[in-house]
Structure 1
Amino acid sequence: MGYENVVVFPEGDEHWADQGYKLWTIEDITEPDEAEVAEAEEAAEPSDIKEGEFPGSIDEDFFVELMETDPGSIRLIDVRDEDEFSRGHLPQAERMNVDEIRANMDEFDDEKPIVLICATGARSGEAYFTFQDQRPELDVYYLDANVSYGEDGSFEIE
């Protein structure tokens, strides 16, 4: 799937939180509480990005339309590995895997919304939550879909 450097934290959730790391549960990504929604609404300016079914995701149809009409309005980051990227990618996408995003987190700015893509939504979702942990002030979305890329710069959402 493209995940690298994955380990199990043997002491469990409580000790993980004691170390200052954020814990994510299914409730965190499906139903934010009212305080979080209010805080997010106050912190970020409204975006023209149409959100998808899950928090942080971009609507698939909106993404297709955006790529057809105004791809320069976003910073598009493809989080797949170099081999996958070389076999086909969107022309405006820059390639940066999740580890590279973490290493370069301070270099991201808020000039444009950031949209993260991959082949299935798993790695782009992981990258999205990395941004949420480290740079929550940025306007970031991920495409939660199965996507195939052509050598000619085309793509298809399955």
Structure 2
Amino acid sequence: MKLRLTVMCATLLAALSGMPGEVLIVGARAAESVAVEARAGWYSQLVDAEFVAKYAVLPKPEGVQIIDSRPAARKFDPGHIPTAMNLHDGDFDKLADQLPGDKNTLLIFYCEGYECMLSHNSAFRAEKLGYTNIRVYAAGYPEWVKSGRMVAVSVPFLKKKLDEGSPLTLIDSRPKERKYDKGHIPGAISLPDSDFDKLIDRLPADRNSPLYFYCEGLNCKLSSDSAEKAVKLGYKQVKVVPEGYPLWARLYGPGPGTSASPKVVIQTTADQDAIAIASFEKILKESAGAVLLVDVRDPAEYAKGTFKGAINMPVAEVEKRAAELPTDRPVIFFCSAGGRSGDALDKARKAKPGITAYFLDANVKWTPDGGHAITPN
């Protein structure tokens, strides 16, 4: 025992003094810390899965951000550590503004294991930006999965699986009457976490069936609680969708529910593709949830003000993101003057002929207090 402690102390001193040799990975269980061989280019402040697990929980803890440095579509979307944000190291400079504003925030970077340098590279870049509390989980996602910990998927990945008709059971863990009945992800079954034990017969009998749980976003723990219960029941393919229904509604519009929004009547101008200003204002006031509002301006413009519930889809991205546009309710494109919104309409119809869509051909200005003014061109 004395020898083990001596070796650990020597290793720690070597790491702190910059001596070559081993780096001590600090974890929640110090007596079981794992020493690994130092590698060229590694960030020095390393942590293990036990350390990360304290923060990979819902509701998402304040003062910390786990960051997945891997590519989004090929790696992050199909599986990542819960509460992690994706900031691919290859796009770090372009996406650095997504990092927390507080430079004292604990940042935990990870990627694809010991052979992957993306997390280390990102950690060094964050340090240059002035962040003072940075760690790297060097073992990364492969060890996380191998140790049997909960895995999360992104909302776009879930949408892709549903569109492909992949065999899975999607579970809404929110209260039925107050949440599920008012709108849910299409195809989801209602199994409130508070009634999980009474309603487990709604789950498939086959314990190998893929289960995806979601609730009300990063501040909601119902989905992760239900997912853990499913794991204890012996289900082997259990995943959570941490951003849940709020992000789904923002990206793809509100889902069906027993209190679904009413159908709307859209009046147009002489141009049958352009919605009349009065009709548009009426929809904003009375039934905005019955349409999908799409702001086709640039992200910087969108961030300064837009209509409540609108998603941002810059005109240059409309064709490649046309799959996100619904066919079960009208889509209304808008910008600040009508030029880009009309162009977006044409691109969307070409890429997805089945949509019902219009554009707002008017001048729009937003005020700092959230108001707006719409005037004819």
Shorter-chain TM range is 0.5 to 0.7
Kindly report which structure 2 residues correspond to 1:109-120, keeping only aligned pairs within 5 A, or say none: 109-120=326-337
Q: Is 1:65 equivalent to 2:275 in the alignment?
A: no
Tell me which amino acid in the other structure corresponds to 2:320.
Answer: A
Residues 325, 331 of structure 2: 8 Å contact kept: no
C-alpha distance in structure 2 between counterparts of 1:54 and 1:85, whole Å? 26
* Structure 1 residues not aligned, in runs of 5+: 1-46
Q: CA deviation at 1:133?
A: 1.9
Per-residue CA shift, 1:115-138, capped at 9, x if unaligned?
Answer: 001000000000011122222221
Distance between the aligned counterparts of 1:101 and 1:111, measured in 2? 18
Q: What is residue 352 of structure 2 aligned with on the other side?
A: 135
- CA–CA distance in 2 between the matches of 1:152 and 1:94? 19
Compare CA radii of gyration and give the structure with the larger one.
2
Q: 1:134 to 1:120 in 2, by over 3 A?
A: same
Q: Distance in 1 between matches of 2:347 and 2:331?
A: 13
Determine helix, strand or coil for the equivalent of 1:91.
coil
Q: What amino acid is the match of 1:147?
A: V
> How far off is 1:70 after superposition?
1.0
Alpha carbon RMSD of aligned pairs, Å?
1.7
Alignment match, 2:373: 156
Counterpart of 1:59, as a letter, is A
Q: 3-state DSSP class of the match of 1:102?
A: coil
State the alpha-carbon separation in 1 of the partners of residues 288 and 269 from structure 2. Answer: 18
Query: Quick one: distance in 2 between partners of 1:128 and 1:61?
Result: 20
Task: Give, in whole Å, the separation in 2 of the partners of 1:153 and 1:71.
Answer: 16
Question: In 2, distance between residues paired with 1:53 and 1:151?
Answer: 33
Q: Which residue in the other structure is 1:86 paired with?
A: 303
Residue 323 of structure 2: SS of its match in structure 1?
helix
Q: Give the residue type in structure 2 aligned to 1:155.
A: H
Query: Which of the pair has the greater relative contact order for Cα pairs under 8 Å at 6+ separation?
Result: 1
Amino acid at match of 2:335: C
Distance in 1, Cα, partners of 2:368 & 2:306: 7
Question: Where does structure 1 differ by over 3 angstroms across 4 or more consecutive aligned residues?
Answer: none
Unaligned runs of at least 5 residues, structure 2: 1-263
Q: 1:102 to 1:62 in 2, by over 3 A?
A: same
Q: Hey, what's the Cα distance between the residues in 2 that align with 1:109 and 1:132? A: 12
* Code of the aligned partner of 1:107: E
Of 316, 336, 341 in structure 2, the residue corresponding to residue 124 of structure 1 is 341
- Between stretches 107-116 and 137-146, larger displacement belongs to 107-116
Cα shift at 1:92: 1.0
C-alpha deviation, 1:50, in angstroms: 1.1
- Give 1:106 shift: 2.4
Percent same amino acid at aligned positions?
29
Letter in 1 for 2:314: N
In 1, Cα distance between equivalents of 2:338 and 2:355: 19
Q: Does 1:53 align with 2:270?
A: yes
